[in-house]
């Protein structure tokens, strides 16, 4: 009886918020030791994809946040995640006139308590069909780095990752079940 009521409530909520019509995915973020350190939620709405990130245990300050091109998160270095998701064959950097990679996102601010929270639009990617789908054949990952992304303001073609240092948190993007 109790669970039936909970289900009915949840269904009502989904209808009320339009959640049933949205596509949602999540990425469980782990650190180089393999421990859970946060979550990213990806919601495909009428106006594109929104990424919500919650992470803890990172040094206070700005950290690069990217979507990487391979859906594998193997600690400790997360090299398995491959380079930035780049279906349009652009150069790196949100401030590069020859960019950006579709997976280039604004830097994530981590507060004095080592907690980072961000809500960002990822306007060049989709959870749906197409060349820019995060659910392409090899999947995709959310990655947070040691350092800030320099956004490649110099438009340096050899700058492929924003000099953001090590990969400190990573999670495979999966459908929300």
Q: Give the one residue of 27, 40, 63, 66 binding Cu ion; rule: CB under 5 A.
A: 66
Q: Is 68 in the site for Zn ion (CB under 5 A)?
A: no
Q: Using CB under 5 A as the criterion, what x/- string covers residues 127-156 for binding Cu ion?
A: ----------------x-------------
Please give the distance of CA 145 from its chain centroid, rounded to a whole number.
12
For residue 32, what are the contacts with CB-CB under 8 A and spacing of at least 6? 75, 76, 77, 78, 166, 167, 168
Indicate the DSSP class of residue 80: G
- Identify what 63 binds: Zn ion, Cu ion, none; CB under 5 to 8 Å per kind: none
104 binds Zn ion (CB under 5 A): yes
Check if the beta carbon of residue 102 is closer than 8 Å to that of residue 125: yes
Which residues are paired to 171 by β-bridges? 142
Q: In angstroms, rounded to a whole number, what is the distance separating the alpha carbons of residues 48 and 164?
A: 26
Please give the backbone phi and psi of residue 68, each rounded to the nearest 5 degrees, phi first: -100, 160
With binding defined as CB under 5 A, does residue 84 bind Zn ion?
Answer: yes
**Which entry of Zn ion, Cu ion, none binds 101, CB below 5 to 8 A by partner kind?**
Zn ion
If binding is defined by CB under 5 A, does position 150 make contact with Zn ion?
no
Of 25, 63, 65, 101, which lies in the binding site for Zn ion, with binding defined by CB under 5 A? 101
How many residues interact with Zn ion (rule CB under 5 A)? 4
Could you tell me the two tokens for 10?
A: 């949840």
The two three-digit tokens of residue 16, written as one number: 């009320």
Binding residues for Cu ion (CB under 5 A):
66, 143
Binding residues for Zn ion (CB under 5 A):
84, 92, 101, 104
């Amino acid at each position: 009886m109790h669970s039936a009521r909970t289900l009915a409530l949840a269904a009502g909520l989904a209808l009320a918020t339009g959640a049933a019509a949205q596509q949602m995915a999540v990425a469980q973020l782990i650190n180089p030791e393999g421990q859970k350190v946060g979550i990213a939620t990806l919601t495909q709405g009428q106006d594109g994809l929104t990424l919500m990130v919650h992470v803890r245990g990172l040094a206070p300050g700005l950290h690069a946040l990217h979507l990487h091109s391979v859906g594998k998160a193997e600690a400790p270095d997360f090299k398995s995640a491959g380079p930035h998701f780049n279906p349009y064959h652009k150069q790196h950097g949100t401030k590069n006139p020859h960019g950006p990679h579709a997976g280039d996102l604004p830097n994530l601010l981590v507060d004095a308590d080592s907690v980072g929270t961000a809500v960002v639009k990822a306007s060049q990617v989709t959870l749906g069909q197409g060349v820019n789908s995060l659910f392409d054949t090899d999947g995709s990952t959310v990655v947070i780095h040691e350092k800030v992304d320099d956004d490649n303001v110099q438009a340096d073609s050899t700058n492929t990752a924003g000099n953001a240092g090590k990969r400190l948190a990573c999670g495979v993007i999966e459908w929300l079940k």
